[in-house]
A = this chain, B = another copy of it.
């Protein structure tokens, strides 16, 4: 864990290094992914079967080797412990309600020049959702990715997920049933992303690919951006907690650890103006960490990437630092979180006040937990229904309207040296 003080002489240099630290993958991954994608494009299902045998030790032969039937998902849902099923249903209901409110309005109006203008939104025909295997297979992620697609109106929603040694995760299947997923394919890695983008004999191509994954999956999405739509380039998760000294150190320590336990590359940062409180939080992190079943991951993350920044003036300094960090999650554990929030320009999601731990946002609050990481909140947003929709603008003129605005188009077309543009308007003028 790194400790910084804004009053230190070398603070700016060390903070700048922190801001620039991306904790992300390198060129080797990119080259391997390029090869896999070429192979899937060329050989289709045969390539998928080869990679799945080698990487997941799962043989793709019969139909049920390839695909998990809808009945299995329903059965997994019905077998859930009732408390867990209700929790999943509450989460799904709240996520659905929040995302429904994101549906964009259509526009259709005629302006003073008599020109009818507008924009119509429509869903993509098909979307693919990557669900990691193993440790990172979260039913909550399935809901967060699938529900916006369904709310957007996507007709075909396809899950791809690796099933190492043939094992699938019943919680994920239950969530797939609840979210209304249409197909579940037992393929993972960059090869699964390639199959979604290019299509194979078995798997029809989709138009948009979303969902979390390892460095290979993230790189495959990046390389296929433009062939399909993608949600975003995602890196390791991160939290920034801005807390004054009047918090319970145990609460803040738990928040920092909730991020650290995700991934050894995850990052937890505390900004406070109280040195004694900072020490109490650091101690509480150590105590709590030892009690976690996830302590190895959490410890590794906190030791390698954890940061405590001591500032002199929380109100003045913390928004400036927060905007430079542009973190995925920002907690404002202070008396007047609104005042700080008003000064935040760049953040994926903000958690206001002492009773809003980030974990409620991961599961049940309603807003999406798929958020921009690695300073991408400077320009990117969390997942929404808009990631599964596209806008078609439209224009309609009659002869009179063309008479009003056409001459300006002709002047500009001639100035740009595009005579056919000008002619297409000139011919239609009276």
- Using a CB–CB cutoff of 8 Å, the interface residues on chain A facing chain B are 83-84, 86-88, 90-91, 94, 97-98, 101-102, 107, 111, 113, 115-117, 119, 122, 124-125, 135, 138-140, 171, 207-208, 222, 225-226, 228-229, 232-233, 248, 250-251, 254-255, 257-258, 260-262, 288, 292-294, 298, 337, 341, 344-368, 371-372, 374, 376-382, 384, 386, 390-399, 401-402, 405-409, 411-413, 415-425, 427-428
Instruction: Compute how far the CA of A357 lies from the CA of B107 in the bound complex, rounded to whole angstroms.
Output: 21
A91 to B364, CA, bound (A): 47
B425 pairs with A395, CB closer than 8 A: no
Q: How far apart sit A250 and B406, CA to CA, in the bound complex (Å)?
A: 17
- Are the CB atoms of B349 and A425 closer together than 8 Å? no
Residues of B within 8 A of A257 (CB): 420, 423-424
Contact B395 A356, beta carbon cutoff 8 Å: yes
* A412 interface neighbour in B87, B293, B357, Cβ under 8 Å: B87
Judge whether B394 and A341 touch: CB under 8 Å: yes
Query: Which residues of B are found within 8 Å of A222, using beta-carbon distances?
Result: 225-226
| Contact residue among B102, B368, B395 (Cβ-Cβ distance under 8 Å from A360) | B395
Q: Which residues of B are found within 8 Å of A428, using beta-carbon distances?
A: 251, 354-355, 357
Give CA–CA (A354, B396) in the complex, Å.
9
Given contacts A416-B138, A420-B258, contact A377 B392 (CB under 8 A): yes
Nearest B residue (CB) for A135: B417
Do A421 and B391 touch across chains, with their CB atoms under 8 A apart?
no
A-B contact pairs, 7 of them (CB 8 A): A117-B367, A138-B416, A254-B427, A257-B423, A349-B392, A351-B395, A353-B397
Q: Is A365 a contact partner of B405 (Cβ separation < 8 A)?
A: yes
Partner of A356, one of B348, B396, B411, B422: B396
Tell me if A's interface is mostly helix, strand, loop or mixed. mixed
Please report the C-alpha to C-alpha distance between residue A384 and residue B396 in the assembled complex, in whole angstroms. 19
Taking a contact as CB atoms under 8 Å apart, the answer to whether A262 and B119 are in contact is no
Copies of this subunit: 2
A34 to chain B: closest CB distance in Å? 9
Central interface residue in A250, A350, A365, A366, by most chain B CB within 10 Å: A365
Q: Which residues of B contact A376 (CB under 8 A)?
A: 226, 229
User: Is B261 a contact partner of A419 (Cβ separation < 8 A)?
Assistant: yes
Q: Which residues of B contact A386 (CB under 8 A)?
A: 386
A250:B139 contact, CB within 8 angstroms = no
The residues of B that contact A418 with a CB separation of less than 8 Å are 258, 261-262, 294, 359
Contacts of A416 in B (CB 8 A): 138-140, 171
User: Chain B residues near A379 (CB, 8 Å)?
Assistant: 124, 207-208, 228-229, 390
Inter-subunit contact B262/A423 (CB<8 Å): no
* C-alpha gap A135/B135 in the complex (Å): 54
User: Is the pair B367, A420 in contact by a Cβ cutoff of 8 Å?
Assistant: no
CB-contact partner of A367 in B119, B135, B294, under 8 A: B119
Kindly state the separation between the CA atoms of A344 and B121 in the bound complex, as whole angstroms.
11
The answer to whether A229 touches B380 (Cβ under 8 A) is yes
CB pair A363 B409 closer than 8 Å: yes
Q: Which residues of B contact A250 (CB under 8 A)?
A: 427
Q: How far is the CA of A90 from the CA of B208 in the complex (A)?
A: 37
Report the bound CA distance from A115 to B390 in whole Å.
30
